[in-house]
Structure 1
């Protein structure tokens, strides 16, 4: 990975995190969704709405000039308003997005590892996520210890134990 730095996500990163939700949803260029349609989906909006709540934790990757290029974060959801990878109250759900030109260069792995470390330091015992079946990021998640716990529709819900 060349000239990439990681820093903690802060409240003023909400717009960039919104961009990364759209990137995460648009992993498949042949089936890319309009930004407005991604953000119209309540399940996607939940990942960024009201950022940064006290339990929201994340990491932003920046290039050599300090411009943000990717982000990974987690937040808690209630059972009546879950995200795509909800497994239970008290289990934060992770989302990861990387700008297209920075994909497959180790940025996602670095962000994921740092975010898992922060979740562990925060006292969480598990992290959950959701990924579409054909998304190549599934291999990244598996290689970093996430395992499939359910397969709703075209997605897999994965969990990583942190203890």
Structure 2
């Protein structure tokens, strides 16, 4: 853990911030900014935050020294009828992660990812999945944390972490 940020469990009141982090995740390319409302009203993104916090949802929020949220990682159980980008099965939680640009490359994403993966294991989930665009620099982070590509898409791949 860093002296400049800490991690706390996500709460129901964090729903709006998780929406901000979906926007950050969708707009990861520098200079490539889709409007917040456009992202949050799109079905493919809305499924990650609609109705937060459902009983099977879990997540963590990184906060700076002033208590301001700077990043989040969470998972949802999605159905085969409404699968996410990284859907691999109804019993496999799908991870979503977003970090404010100014905090990227400071260990925030890695710390959040490790905590969420550990939590998933503690909750009895042997696998956790995610989807990442092929040219997203976060792929390197996911690989270094034990995620492996299980499905190759046109522009994005599904990656899965198996509990050891």
* Whole-angstrom distance in 2 between the partners of 1:30 and 1:80: 34
Say whether residues 1:30 and 2:28 are aligned partners: no
Q: Which runs of 5+ in 1 are unaligned?
A: none
TM-score w.r.t. length of structure 2: 0.97
* Whole-angstrom distance in 1 between the partners of 2:50 and 2:57: 11
**Corresponding residue of 1:19:** 20
Aligned positions of 1:103-114 closer than 5 A: 103-114=104-115
**Corresponding residue of 1:45:** 46
**Corresponding residue of 1:4:** 5
Aligned positions of 1:2-151 closer than 5 A: 2-151=3-152
* Whole-angstrom distance in 2 between the partners of 1:44 and 1:153: 18
Cα deviation, 1:5-33, whole Å, max 9, x if unaligned, reads: 10000000000000000000010023321
Paired residue total: 163
* Whole-angstrom distance in 2 between the partners of 1:59 and 1:162: 19
* Whole-angstrom distance in 2 between the partners of 1:149 and 1:41: 25
Q: Which runs of 5+ in 2 are unaligned?
A: none
* Whole-angstrom distance in 2 between the partners of 1:98 and 1:123: 26
- What RMSD in Å do the two structures reach over aligned CA positions? 0.9
Secondary structure of the equivalent of 2:80? coil
Query: 1:134: Cα distance to partner?
Result: 0.7
TM-score w.r.t. length of structure 1: 0.97
* Whole-angstrom distance in 2 between the partners of 1:28 and 1:3: 25
